[in-house]
Amino acid sequence: MKQRGICLAYAIVVVYAIVSSFLAVGARDDEGVLGQRASSW
């Protein structure tokens, strides 16, 4: 059942990317880490 774990991990990464891009647009953090992370996707 490793494929299920991989799918779950991939879904978490995708959701994290979407959330971080929303955060980067909504409230820009001082370091700009979220902005760089969102733009790298």
Does the pLDDT value for residue 33 go beyond 90?
no
Question: Considering Cα of 12, then 14, then 24, then 29, what sign does the dihedral take?
Answer: positive
Q: How far is CA 15 from CA 10, 21, 30, 39, in A?
A: 9, 10, 22, 15
pTM comes to 0.48
Tell me the pLDDT tens digit for each residue of 2-23.
889 999 999 999 999 988 888 7
Domain range for 14: 2-40
Amino acid 14 reads V
Across residues 24-40, what is the average pLDDT? 57
Total of domains in the chain: 1
